[in-house]
Chains A and B, each alone.
Chain A
Amino acid sequence: MTQITIDAAGIHYTPLNKQIRQAVRDGASEIILNNIMGQRFIGDGLTGNVKITVNGVPGGDLGMFMKGPTIEVFGNADHAPGNTMDEGTIIIHGASGDATGHSMRGGKVFIRDDIGYRGGIHMKQYMDKRPVLVIGGSAKAFLGEYMAGGLVIMFRLSDDEPYAEMGLASGIHGGEIFIRGTVEDWTLGIGSNAQPATSEDLERIKPYILEFSSYYNIDPTSLLNNSFTRIAPVSARPFAGKYTWE
């Protein structure tokens, strides 16, 4: 087990990513990045089995196209962490920006607090690749829009009112979204359907509730005992009836 620490103060993202790649090539199993201040693309396209600890606030597209590594951020993250991510885990001890988990294809992203607009948009799945986005706080509009697969779970830990952001799961044609509590009917986008989660549903998301709680030292009991709403597609072909042939 080789641990490497990089002081990222004042370093541009390209040389920083080069150092990270080199460390992985040299066999590092853990990389600690200190003084991260908005550098984008950390772990972009990175493959391998390495743990990266980010101390600071990473810029956009954290872990984009990433295949394998685990990134734990002690701070907030900018937009689109986990963008088109393939495998691995991102754990954010804070909030993240818009398009969190955009087009995720695999792996897991955990956000302790809130995320911005368009979270989990266009997530997809294939065979055993099933991406998971877990949000401790709440999300802005268009959560899970065009979702083609995968799983989004949102706890809304600091909210007790029903979820009320527009465009929830618009055009969803695969995957499922679980939101703690209820959702306002008008929030639901085209092609989506909301039902109270069943005990079987809750059993399926239980491992992620436990995983989330373990990362942030939260007692999972109350989450496990809460009720959730499950949002799922009405059809795998939401727009099939929209067209006629010339």
Chain B
Amino acid sequence: MIIGSRPTKFQVVVDKNQCMLCGRCVENCSYNVFRMEPEGIITNTRNCVACHRCISQCPRDAISIKERPCDYRSHPVWTAQIKENIFKQAESGKILLGGMGNAGQYPILFDHLVLDACQVTNPSIDPLREPMELRTYIGKKPKQLEFIQTPEEDTSLVTELVPNLKLETPIMIGHMSYGAISLNAHKAMAKAVSEIGTFMGTGEGGLHEALYPYQNNMIVQVASGRFGVDVNYLERGAAIEIKIGQGAKPGIGGHLPGEKVCADVSCTRMIPEGSDAISPAPHHDIYSIEDLKQLVLSLKEATEWKKPVFVKIAAVHNVAAIAAGIARSGADAVVIDGFRGGTGAAPSVFRDHVGIPIEAAVAAVDAKLRKQGIRNEVSIIASGGIRQSADVAKAICLGADAVYIGTAALVAMGCRVCGTCYRGLCSWGIATQRPDLVTRLNPDEAANNVKNLIDAWTLELAELMGAAGINSIESLRGNRDRLRGYMLDQSMLDVLDVNAIGA
């Protein structure tokens, strides 16, 4: 039985009275929605993914896109998405793959948390006038500091400090590999973080030569596939991150399809052109915390103990116990990636149904590490679903030292979150390797946008801290008293260790 075609997701209309037939929409659409005919611009609406490239480039605002102009009978259970997924799987018998983050209708806990502000009894701080300390150090901290005093009354530190990463703002950019995104996108973010004094991740695709100038602000990643990993790569990074899991697809590995492995990607990943790049779910030399410890130590040993080593895991229900193990593995930071984390491609059943929200995961990890007296052993980096500066502040209140942003940085470069990264046709030149599309992203302009975004969030963070009477990020970290839960049930408040509003 042929199920037939589904209703189009979008309807694209060109206003013929406005259109001046310049053809920019035809040139700019990588999904072949538009074509020029003698009678005007003709649209093939079915191809549209709502990336909005055409709208952004139209000089006459002649294009409009409407979502789902023809729908199924509305039904609260058998939604259009559910039905279409069934149609596709009934036709193909295959796993459904989707791009970007969790598209499930889960409540966003960040939006049920409100920040505190000082009034009369305890005055707020004016960030315009008072210094606000947002500098953050990622890595192990000693339990206490020991000093000696010389006969000349000079004081010197005896405690040996291990290498930490120094961030001028607690906002970093998480790992997106070269292959998943374009070189220009990488260059833009690398330039931005180096100007700001923060860091970004390479992803598991190796480090392209063009990024060597920014290597002091790059965190190199070691995933199970070990793509692009050699001793030079490890030495170039400011820190090394072992990727165990990611929020968009907890429990499964990474897979860059062969069609995205072009010549340049192949040399960075050090695999043949056109070959699949498969990072299986487990690292095959890690089957326990003891094995993880061995990988952490091997990376430290290979780089002569000069670099912090992070371990990234997906937020899952047992995350606190896992993080406690990671803290004892010798890692300097644990990265927890929540279930709203983005990705180029993930089986949508994982993306939408596996894992837990970052808010709960960070709170649980922070609480567990404090309870065990090892919170100083490891920094916590929260990622997966950080959309605005308020989310950064709330994540830090819940116990994070810093955050990784991903999708937000892409949006700063033009991404419309159309969710079709896996097709490699990104019309903004971000999630593509097609040379003509890649050149659409000007790395300098995009770098400026990303820098502006992080600068703006950092300013807002300082303002939020000042309002809460706090002048140092250290005092905000794990400070649940500056948060209140709004419309959350008691069990959720208990997990977050946050009081309800009015309490």
Contacts and interface: CB of A to CB of B under 8 A. Distances in A.
Interface in A19-54: 21, 40-41, 44-45, 47
A62 B348 CA distance: 40
Contact of B258 (A21, A44, A236): A236
Contacts of B479: none
B95 interface: yes
A98 to B, nearest CB: 8
Interface stretch (B84-92, B369-377, B389-397): B84-92
A64 B271 contact: no
B475 interface: no
Contacts of B258: 236-237, 240
Contacts of A61: 285, 294, 298
A86 interface: yes
Interface string A99-123: 1001101000000000000100110
Interface in A187-246: 236-246
Contact of B230 (A41, A65, A149, A237): A65
A60 B423 CA distance: 41
B94 interface: yes
A121 B283 CA distance: 10
B297 interface: yes
A176 B176 CA distance: 31
A76 interface: no
Interface stretch (B197-205, B300-308, B433-441): B300-308
A246 B96 contact: yes
A89 interface: no
B285 A83 contact: yes
Which of A41, A237, A246 has the most chain B CB atoms inside 10 A of its CB? A246
A173 interface: yes
B490 interface: no
Contact of B89 (A17, A79, A244): A244
Interface string A126-149: 100100000000000010011011
B267 interface: yes
Contacts of A14: 301, 305
Given A64-B298, A126-B267, A243 B97 contact: yes
Interface string B250-263: 00000101100000
Chain A interface, >50% SS class: loop
B323 interface: no
Nearest to B257: A240
A13 interface: yes
Contacts of B99: 246
Interface in B269-293: 270-272, 274-278, 280, 284-285
Contacts of A181: none
A67 interface: yes
B98 interface: yes
B171 interface: no
Contacts of B271: 124-126, 148-149, 174
B496 interface: no
Contacts of A239: 255, 276, 278
A41 B276 contact: no
B85 A246 contact: yes
Q: Is the interface of B mostly helix, strand, loop or mixed?
A: mixed
A68 B298 CA distance: 18
A41 B272 contact: no
Contacts of B94: 241-244
A102 B284 contact: yes
A58 interface: no
Nearest to B253: A146
B302 A122 contact: no
A246 B97 contact: yes
B226 A45 contact: no
B278 A173 contact: yes
Contact of B284 (A66, A99, A173, A245): A99
A243 B270 contact: no
Nearest to A174: B275
B356 interface: no
A148 B227 CA distance: 11
Contact of A237 (B88, B229, B257, B298): B257
The list of the 5 closest CB pairs from A to B, nearest first, reads: A45-B302, A246-B98, A103-B226, A126-B270, A244-B94
Interface of A: 13-14, 17-18, 21, 40-41, 44-45, 47, 60-61, 64-67, 79-80, 83-84, 86, 98-99, 102-103, 105, 118, 121-122, 124-126, 129, 142, 145-146, 148-149, 171, 173-174, 236-246
Given A118-B284, A126-B271, 10 more contacts: A65-B234, A98-B285, A126-B266, A148-B271, A148-B278, A173-B275, A238-B276, A239-B276, A243-B96, A244-B94
Interface of B: 85, 88-89, 91-92, 94-99, 224-227, 229-232, 234, 255, 257-258, 266-267, 270-272, 274-278, 280, 284-285, 294, 297-298, 301-305, 347-348, 419, 422-423
14 contacts: A41-B302, A44-B301, A45-B301, A45-B302, A61-B294, A65-B231, A65-B234, A80-B285, A126-B267, A146-B280, A173-B275, A236-B258, A237-B257, A246-B88
